[in-house]
Amino acid sequence: MSRETISQSISIVHPISLSHGKNAEVWDTSGKRYIDFVGGIGVLNLGHCHPGVVEAIREQATRLTHYAFNAAPHAPYIELMDRLTAFVPVDYPVSGMLTNCGAEAAENALKIVRGATGRTAVIAFDGAFHGRTLATLNLNGKVAPYKQKVGVLPGPVYHLPYPSADNDVSCAEALKAMDRLFSVEIDVNDVACFIIEPVQGEAGFLALDREFAQALRRFCDENNILLIADEIQSGFGRTGQRFAFSRLRIEPDLILLGKSIAGGMPLGAVVGRKALMDNLPKGGLGGTYSGNPIACAAALATLDAMTDGHLKAWGVHQEEAIVSRYETWRAQGLTPYLGRLTGVGAMRGIELANPDGTPAPNALAQLLGLARDAGLLLMPSGKSRHIIRLLAPLTIEPAVLEEGLDMLETCLKQLV
Q: What is the CA radius of gyration of the chain?
A: 21
Res 314: pLDDT: 95
- Asked if residue 249 and residue 216 are part of one domain, the reply reads yes
Domain boundary among 277, 305, 333: 305
Report phi then psi at 66, rounded to 5: -160, 145
In contact, 110 and 103? CB cutoff 8 Å: no
Q: Is 307 helix (H, G, I), strand (E, B) or coil?
A: coil
- Asked if residue 197 and residue 105 are part of one domain, the reply reads yes
Query: How far, in Å, CA of 289 to CA of 269, rounded?
Result: 13
Domain boundary among 278, 305, 332: 305
User: 37, 12, 41: which is closest to 26 by C-alpha?
Assistant: 37
- Asked if residue 336 and residue 234 are part of one domain, the reply reads no
| 184 belongs to a structural domain | yes
Tens digit of pLDDT per residue, the chain (416 long)?
568 899 999 999 999 999 999 999 999 999 999 999 999 999 999 999 999 999 999 999 999 999 999 999 999 999 999 999 999 999 999 999 999 999 999 999 999 999 999 999 999 999 999 999 999 999 999 998 999 998 988 899 999 999 999 999 999 999 999 999 999 999 999 999 999 999 999 999 999 999 999 999 999 999 999 999 999 999 999 999 999 999 999 999 999 999 999 999 999 999 999 999 999 999 999 999 999 999 999 999 999 999 999 999 999 999 999 999 999 999 999 999 999 999 999 999 999 999 999 999 999 999 999 999 999 999 999 999 999 999 999 999 999 999 999 999 999 999 98
Res 399: pLDDT: 98
Strand partners, 25: 22, 35
- Asked if residue 124 and residue 60 are part of one domain, the reply reads yes
Query: How far, in Å, CA of 401 to CA of 398, rounded?
Result: 5
Q: Is 237 helix (H, G, I), strand (E, B) or coil?
A: coil
- Asked if residue 343 and residue 379 are part of one domain, the reply reads yes
Res 4: pLDDT: 87
Burial class (CB in 10 A: 0-12, 13-18, 19+), 5: exposed
Res 239: pLDDT: 95
Provide the edge-to-edge strand list for the sheet that holds 379-381.
338-344, 347-352, 387-390, 379-381
Q: How many domains does the chain have?
A: 2
Res 144: pLDDT: 86
**Cβ neighbours of residue 251 closer than 8 Å, sequence gap 6 or more:** 90, 91, 92, 217, 245
In contact, 44 and 281? CB cutoff 8 Å: no
- Asked if residue 249 and residue 265 are part of one domain, the reply reads yes
Query: How far, in Å, CA of 30 to CA of 259, rounded?
Result: 28
Res 356: pLDDT: 93
| 10 belongs to a structural domain | no
Peptide linkage before 361 cis (omega within 30 of 0): no
- Asked if residue 326 and residue 267 are part of one domain, the reply reads no
- 348 lies in which domain range? 308-413
- Buried residues in 41-75 as b, exposed as e (16+ CB within 10 A): ebbbbbbbebeebeebbeebeeeeeebebeeeebe
Report phi then psi at 16, rounded to 5: -130, 170
Res 57: pLDDT: 98
For residue 275, give the CATH number of its domain: 3.40.640.10
Query: How far, in Å, CA of 109 to CA of 232, rounded?
Result: 13
| 42 belongs to a structural domain | no
Single-letter amino acid code for the residue at 4: E
Strand partners, 191: 121
Domain boundary among 305, 327, 355: 305
In contact, 381 and 203? CB cutoff 8 Å: yes
Res 30: pLDDT: 97
The dihedral sign for the CA sequence 276, 278, 282, 288 = positive
Task: Please list the alpha-helical segments (H only) found in 140-285.
Answer: 171-180, 210-222, 274-277
| 44 belongs to a structural domain | no
- Asked if residue 269 and residue 141 are part of one domain, the reply reads yes
| 293 belongs to a structural domain | yes
| 269 belongs to a structural domain | yes
- Asked if residue 212 and residue 197 are part of one domain, the reply reads yes
Q: Kindly report, residue by residue over 23-78, the tens digit of the pLDDT.
A: 999 999 999 999 999 999 999 999 999 999 999 999 999 999 999 999 999 999 99
- Asked if residue 344 and residue 287 are part of one domain, the reply reads no
Query: How far, in Å, CA of 282 to CA of 82, rounded?
Result: 20
Work out the widest C-alpha separation in the chain, in whole angstroms.
62
In contact, 350 and 392? CB cutoff 8 Å: no
In contact, 307 and 315? CB cutoff 8 Å: no
Instruction: Give the total residue count for the chain.
Output: 416
Query: How far, in Å, CA of 343 to CA of 266, rounded?
Result: 26
Query: How far, in Å, CA of 250 to CA of 257, rounded?
Result: 17
- Asked if residue 139 and residue 74 are part of one domain, the reply reads yes
- The angle formed by the CA atoms of residues 257, 258 and 260, to the nearest 5 degrees, is 115
In contact, 206 and 127? CB cutoff 8 Å: yes
Query: How far, in Å, CA of 261 to CA of 269, rounded?
Result: 9
Query: How far, in Å, CA of 388 to CA of 340, rounded?
Result: 11
User: 215, 190, 204: which is closest to 126 by C-alpha?
Assistant: 204
| 33 belongs to a structural domain | no
- Asked if residue 301 and residue 320 are part of one domain, the reply reads no
Burial class (CB in 10 A: 0-12, 13-18, 19+), 188: middle
For residue 321, give the CATH number of its domain: 3.90.1150.10
Q: Is 271 helix (H, G, I), strand (E, B) or coil?
A: strand
Res 397: pLDDT: 97
Average pLDDT over the chain, rounded to whole? 96
| 61 belongs to a structural domain | yes
Res 2: pLDDT: 64
